[in-house]
Structure 1
Amino acid sequence: MSVLEVKHLKKSFGPVRAVEDISFSVTAGEIFTIIGPNGAGKTTTLEMIEGLVPPDEGEITFGEMDWRKNAAAIKKKIGVQPQSSAMFDLLTPEENLNLFASFYDRSRSAEDILQLVNLTDHRKKHVKKLSGGQRQRLAIGLAMISDPEIIFLDEPTTGLDPQARRNIWDIVLQLKELGKTTILTTHYMEEAEKLSDRVCIVDQGKVISIDTPAALIDQLTEEREVHLIFLDGADAAESAALFSDDLGSVSRTERDGSSLTIWTAHPEDTLYQLFSYTKERNFQVEQVSIREMSLEDVFIAFTGKEWRD
């Protein structure tokens, strides 16, 4: 069941067209991720959906509700991750949560939220003394205080170290277990690939493609890169390359000294035949790796750009 429908959103700021044409729908309970480089229109799209910025054109509906007629009801339905500046630095996480809870008719207890975002041990510490990762976890907790059905997270892990980022991932996955619908933006490809039920690729204010991470990768190619390094040097690599070129499963090869890269749609069959060949000739292979395609490869293929931070 669709809980959010976005149709042909457009938004300009003076001569700059931030959002050109954005349309998608979000299903109840899914993690829906909008990815794209800085300036792609991710944040502006989220702000329009959250009711913070009016669109120039387009429709935003939450089931049967829209912002013009049902603003009060929608505000009870959604939770928005506040920016760091929206927190009160001289209050504790517990006090911030209780303050935000007072803004709503119905809310979850601060105790529940502290446990959810793993801040129970820091409940009495002033916010200004929290680490960046702890502040981000509190921001997610503040978005959850009204017990919303839909949570919006705008680049929640930007600037965090790898461990802090993984902690945020765990919270997002917990929200899914609670049946919440999560809409997040990111420009970290691994994050989108690990968390998302579906991914919406946006660039220059337009939707490039929408699908599951696996389906997007499968659209790209069925080929995989197989990389081998030979202990016996360049001659062994060249011999193996000539053999591989004659295999029906291999589309192309590339050799660099004792290193050989093979592109094949059937890496297991290709390696079985290649290892039979190298064993016959007593060639020693020092290293073998198979590179899987990723969402970053999808982005580059769809947009023709290097990934931009």
Structure 2
Amino acid sequence: MSTFIFHPTYRGDMPRRNVTRLAVALLLAFAVPAFAGDPVPVTERGLPQTVHPRYAEKGAPQFSYPTGSTDVGSGGGNNPGGGNVDYTACSGCDPLQTMNAQSWGGQACDAATTVGVSCASLAATCVMESNCRNVQGTGTVSGAFQMTNATYTETINQAAADNPNAGIDTSLAGKSDPANEAWGAAQYEYNGATYLQENGIPDPTFTDVRGYYQFGPATSVTLADAKNSDNLEEIVRLSPQAMAANGITATTTVGDWRQSIANRVGPAAGQTVLN
């Protein structure tokens, strides 16, 4: 903290402060890209996500999506029986290529590696959240990484403090520059990955960190440890209204959710975040 739709710092006391300051946003985590939206029952815990057309959200920007389904499914759809996730399901998905094709892509990649996360992971977030487009979302959500002002301010200041010679613009105006916003997004990924690592997940993958973004720290570790056949609703425990808004049913499995991410970013979904 775009549409199944790719926030708190977990070093010291940062996580707790972040969680309370995140904007309320529809977690369209599964259909993916983005962090935007009217406050629909779910409190967005990480980078806000733009809503996928199937679950239209008032005011959410509309993006074109790469090949591959992003629907979470209702159990047995994308991941029947909770089997292995197919990271090849998204034909031609290459988040890194997509981000690097932008004029600011190289700078964003440098920011990621400096903070401590892989360039590929940041690129996957970029694709999940806006298809790497520098756009205005709903409310304070904006930029290629569709961050809320609160989350951006928190993480960009942390990144600037850790990298005083990087010339990072900590003002809200700096969020309109994707190369600068990338510092905040990369920092947030780092925060999420290190939180999971500190809580028993040795090598957090992009999918693990997405769980942290979408459902918050309280359930992220359990979700990362879950089997593909486990019931998603029983782990995240959102309200029925929130579950329905995100296309999640009582039979949606963890495997369905993981597959929806792989359908969006391909192999990057299973790669580790920390470099």
TM-score, structure 2 length as denominator?
0.27
TM-score, structure 1 length as denominator?
0.25
Bigger CA radius of gyration = 1
**Which has the larger strand fraction?**
1
Identify the structure with bigger relative contact order (alpha carbons < 8 Å, sequence gap 6+).
2
